[in-house]
Amino acid sequence: MRMTKEIKRERDESDDPDQQKSYGMIFEQDIPIPVSDGLVLRANVFRPDAEGNFPVIMAQGVYGKDLHFEDGFKTQWDQLTGVYPELCSNGSTGRYLRWETADPERWVPDGFVIIQIDSRGCGKSPGYLDPRSPREIVDYYDAIEWAARQPWSNGKIGLLGISYYAVTQWRVATLRPPHLAAICPWEGYTDYYRDSTHHGGILSSGFANYWWPKQCLAVQHGNGASPHRERETGKRVTGEEELSEQELIANRTDYVADILRHSLDSAWWRERTPVLDRIEVPVLSAGNWGGPGMHLRGNIEGFLGTGSRQKWLSLHVGKHWEGFYLPEYVAMQKRFFNHFLRDEQNGWQNEPEVRIVVRDPRGDRVRAASSFPLPETQPTRHYLDVASGMLSTDCPAEQCIAIFDAMGEGLSFTTAPFAVDTEFTGFITAHLWVSSSTEDMDLFAVLRMVDGAGKEVVINGAHEASPVSRGWLRVSHRRLDPQRSNALRPFHAHDRVEPLVPGEFYEVDVEIWPTSMVFPKGYRLVLTIMGKDFEFPDIPGRILHKHESDRGGATFQGSSRVVTGGTRASYLTLPHIPSINDREE
């Protein structure tokens, strides 16, 4: 164990002005945390240099607690420091910044303990590497209870972190650790199958292709070939033990094979997905509108589904790794945890339950609301018309059919230029009549924005250049779960494959992920329906669906048809938010 003692040089400009004390920091590295099956995890503990009992902010994950953010994720680091050049000044040296977790130098001076844990099988923690497995979540429970017993702890534990460090918060909260007091899952999905790996039943190939080898195996415990070293000591972040390649393989699951083997929702997925109504602790769920295909849906569903009586939803914009570190959001996180971990009466209890950044190409704005979907939402149908290529609130009288190549550019339907600024915020559904020349088809439904000059608007999304939103459906997975579907959004069961009869038409609902966007006067909304991933010209996509085992062969490369009008009307249901003037009328 290595211990260092540091003195805070100045206060973070985002600190709560009512908090008078500013503490120095003690850093304890590789602290042992025993868990219930006898294994010992390793953690880094950052705590105030003072006697007393302090609230704890914890994160447990697979990315290596000793790997500096910049060393592991240089591209993202450069983008973050470009947006926030004061990241490593004004209260922090940046020395302890780790990917997707809190900066101890911005928290410890305010009287918080920060704990970062290598989950089993990664970094300095031995054991079998099986990300998000039930055993890993039991370890998290044990670590929470361990922290509550420490002499520097006040017995109230909060969880904070992005992505992986958010996903596991939802999970461990369902186990109800007695000393867990609040969670803040920041851009972290809930439904492992629908939100992450199988969008509409279609395998998302990115995690299999890059996440597992580059972000997990590179920091597997005992990996002597790992390129990652601690900055100060030069030691491997994967520990001193060096395992052979055969031992490394034996000490981990085959993640890609697991995902491919479980192509339908099943008990395997359900034991890795939280039962949200079991969560009782206060929740601040923070999602990113620019993230269709990763996390956004989960943050909203988590907020709606949690059993917590005290819960808040915040929806922001920007890159996935940016907002979490910006001063205004650090201040929000601190207010939330100060209230629930040390009973500080700072007004948090009076915060509106919903805070959203409403996107607008001319400049975003913030709106507060009492619920989500917004109470004033007016679900509005926009009918597809093959004959004109338009989207209109009038249903075409004549039935028309359009044919497109599944691997081609698809079909696009466009609104007339909006006569006034028009906002859509909430859930979206495409109700379509479709047919395939083969026994299955994949639908990729994309919402796009075109400005008054006819130029496509490309959004700086959470993970990649993004359209307004996206939706997916494998048509053989078209069956809805009647208990979980409602008038605003479909919920597909994904529990069986129902092959298509080539040439026969089927009525399907495609869930398009929620969005918030103002279309200025003169702009148009475009719905594009394709049989493959939508990518902007010359901008390669990142969250793609191209795995050979899932989409290879002829089944998904046939010709597809869409019917519009008459008795087989296809339409898009959009969450229209009337303007203030409209509401007053």
Phi, psi of 96, rounded to the nearest 5 degrees: -110, 15
The band of 13, judged by pLDDT with boundaries at 50, 70 and 90, is very low
Task: Say if 116 falls within a structural domain.
Answer: yes
Average pLDDT, the chain: 94
406 with 330, same domain: the answer is: no
333 with 392, same domain: the answer is: no
Task: Say if 272 falls within a structural domain.
Answer: no
d(CA 407, CA 532): 6
Task: Say if 138 falls within a structural domain.
Answer: yes
Task: Say if 43 falls within a structural domain.
Answer: yes
Place of tokens 């495409």: 430
Strand 442-450 with 54-61, pairing? unpaired
Nearest to 159 by CA among 196, 126, 112: 112
Place of tokens 């609104």: 415
d(CA 417, CA 29): 59
383 with 342, same domain: the answer is: no
DSSP state of 273: S
Q: 26 near 49, Cβ under 8 Å?
A: yes
For the residues 364-382, what does the mean pLDDT come to?
97
Q: Is 279 exposed, middle or buried (0-12, 13-18, 19+ CB in 10 A)?
A: buried
Task: Say if 313 falls within a structural domain.
Answer: no
- Looking at residue 2, its pLDDT comes to 60
- Looking at residue 8, its pLDDT comes to 47
- Ramachandran quadrant class, 340 (left: phi over 0; alpha: psi -120 to 50; beta: rest): alpha
Q: Which pLDDT tens digit goes with each residue over 325-352? A: 999 999 999 999 999 999 999 999 999 9
Query: Is a pLDDT exceeding 90 seen at residue 583?
Result: no
- Looking at residue 170, its pLDDT comes to 98
Predicted model pTM = 0.95
- Looking at residue 14, its pLDDT comes to 42
Residues facing residue 369 across a β-bridge: 354
454 with 546, same domain: the answer is: yes
Domain of 135, CATH number, reads 3.40.50.1820
- Looking at residue 210, its pLDDT comes to 80
Provide the percentage of residues in the chain whose pLDDT is more than 90. Answer: 91
405 with 544, same domain: the answer is: yes
d(CA 14, CA 555): 55
Task: Say if 363 falls within a structural domain.
Answer: no
553 with 496, same domain: the answer is: yes
Helices (H), 159-254: 164-173, 206, 245-250
Task: Say if 364 falls within a structural domain.
Answer: no
- Looking at residue 291, its pLDDT comes to 87
d(CA 376, CA 378): 6
Domain boundary among 333, 351, 369: 351
Query: Is a pLDDT exceeding 80 seen at residue 241?
Result: yes
Q: Count of domains in the chain? A: 2
328 with 412, same domain: the answer is: no
d(CA 262, CA 84): 41
Domain boundary among 302, 336, 351: 351
- R_g (Cα) of the chain, nearest Å: 25
The band of 15, judged by pLDDT with boundaries at 50, 70 and 90, is very low
Q: Which pLDDT tens digit goes with each residue over 176-225? A: 999 999 999 999 999 999 999 999 999 998 777 788 999 999 999 999 99
- Looking at residue 236, its pLDDT comes to 96
d(CA 161, CA 163): 7
- Looking at residue 20, its pLDDT comes to 61
- Looking at residue 94, its pLDDT comes to 97
347 with 392, same domain: the answer is: no
Q: Which pLDDT tens digit goes with each residue over 296-325? A: 999 999 999 999 999 999 999 999 989 999
For the residues 19-41, what does the mean pLDDT come to?
93
- Looking at residue 292, its pLDDT comes to 86
d(CA 298, CA 67): 27
332 with 391, same domain: the answer is: no
Cα within 13 Å of Cα(458), Cβ side = 11
Strands (E) located in 169-231: 180-186, 198-199, 202-203
484 with 412, same domain: the answer is: yes
- Looking at residue 1, its pLDDT comes to 58
Residues facing residue 161 across a β-bridge: 185
Domain around 146? 2-187+202-262+320-351
Task: Say if 285 falls within a structural domain.
Answer: no
Q: 292 near 514, Cβ under 8 Å?
A: no
167 with 75, same domain: the answer is: yes
- Looking at residue 585, its pLDDT comes to 40
Nearest to 513 by CA among 313, 294, 207: 294
Q: Is 548 exposed, middle or buried (0-12, 13-18, 19+ CB in 10 A)?
A: exposed
Cα within 13 Å of Cα(135), Cβ side = 16
340 with 395, same domain: the answer is: no
Query: Is a pLDDT exceeding 70 seen at residue 12?
Result: no
Nearest to 519 by CA among 446, 582, 461, 574: 574
Q: Which pLDDT tens digit goes with each residue over 448-501? A: 999 999 999 999 999 999 999 999 999 999 999 999 999 899 999 999 999 999
Strand 422-436 with 506-519, pairing? antiparallel
Domain of 510, CATH number, reads 2.60.120.260
Query: Is a pLDDT exceeding 50 seen at residue 584?
Result: no
* pLDDT top residue among 381 and 232: 381
Lowest pLDDT segment from 449-453, 501-505, 552-556 = 552-556
Cα 46 to chain centroid distance, Å, stands at 27
Cα within 13 Å of Cα(9), Cβ side = 6
Q: 94 near 88, Cβ under 8 Å?
A: yes
Strand 524-530 with 442-450, pairing? antiparallel
Query: Is a pLDDT exceeding 60 seen at residue 407?
Result: yes
